[in-house]
A and B are shown apart, each in its own frame.
Chain A
Amino acid sequence: MLRFIFRRTLGAVVILVLLTVVAFLLFFGMPRDPALLMCGKTCTPDALANIHKTLGIDKSIPEQFWIFLQGLFVGRDDFAQGPCPAPCFGYSYHTNENVWSTLIDRLPTTVSLAVGAAFLFLFVGLGSGLLAAWKRGTLIDKTFTGGAMVLSSMQIYFLGPLAMAFLVYQTHLFDQVEYTNFTKNPASWFTGLVIPWAVLSTIFAAQYTRMARSSMIEQLQEEHVRTARAKGMSRSYVFFRYAWRGSLIPIVTIFGIDIGSLLGGAIITEYTFGLPGLGQLAVEAVKFSDLPLLLGVMLFSAAMILLFNIIVDACYAFIDPRVRLS
């Protein structure tokens, strides 16, 4: 088991290193002059020369990459803005702030959004999926599958503004969506995030309903499940003890991928509701062509996704004894 996790971690590290190379090349190697991109439409030669110097673009690409890697592991102190301890992603060109501390600063918003929504959509989605499978062929099943079909085709950029317009602007039932730190005021943390959670989890829950239903129905046709039923065990016991466990595997896989990418920043949700998380940071970085910040967000997100992939693999072994034995 430990060896399995170790091997997976090693694979993830290799991918992360390769990803760093590709992302670095994309941002600093591919444009003819990255400084010009960052400088924007009102660029003066002085400002351009300044960016050239601070970015170190006068050096060759491998040299730049080496300096960047050094910064990641040991830190750098050649920035005009001040020292940059490891892990150093440099300083933002737009706000002049340390990229790493900006990331850490934005992380709680993203984590709050992801964890709250994940709780909601996992329970609602699995619950309604199981209910639909249990009542297969009835009106309940048809309503749930039909509803899930339509809801999973909804887009956050439609449902989000719609919910805000109805609940906040037109009827004033809810507070304006905003992020308050949990430690500062738990109550307004909750009320400020209710709508984003609900919107994000509506779409996800619909997908989980469909998945849980089909996976459960598939499991109920398995031979060991039929045997258990033939032995005379009650329908509910077989349903929850035998089929349920097997149906979890595909759901855990997707859940791991989803939570990983949500923790890397739910870009559209955060942008729709104006929540200052990692996703919105990425959009801001793109708008101002802030390459160091963009590189930082991208690597951070990728690391999150890979981390959760490993956790999913470890979970398999926990759920499915066959994985543990092999």
Chain B
Amino acid sequence: MVTPNPDFYNEIAANGGADVKMCFQCGTCTAGCPSGKETAYRTRKVMRMAQLGLKDELLNTDDIWQCTTCYTCEERCPRGVPIVDTILAIRNIAIQQGKMYDAHKKTANNLVKYGHTVDLNDKVKAMRASLGLPEVPPTVLANEKASADFAKILAKTGFDKLVE
């Protein structure tokens, strides 16, 4: 038995998603989805599960993580549903429940550590120098105050704890 969660669509909207009731289930999204050609991910089904409030079922599948955010669905949606925003909102809800892949934790923690999604390694430093570029790019990496400011933002939103 599944237990529908009638508040789920409000939660999706509160996290930046669409009013999922806008979707009339035509399936244009699934038809054009390149990820659906490679995986069992079906965009229309995700939208339907969201409408029905099948929150636990949705959050416990890999489906919502197979979207590359290519926007093909959204470009073709006859109802103009912001589908990508909706997928991202459902992902936010999954993360709030601690459902996060290790590989994604790594990227998130890079952001916490460096202010960038990847590190600056010695090989790249040498390459930058050989190109006549500063070894350390003029970003948060080059300014302690900027780096501290960036960290304060992540602490304020709770991101550092969220992705621990």
Co-complex (A, B): no
Instruction: Give residues in B with beta carbon < 8 Å to A.
Output: none
Instruction: Give residues in A with beta carbon < 8 Å to B.
Output: none
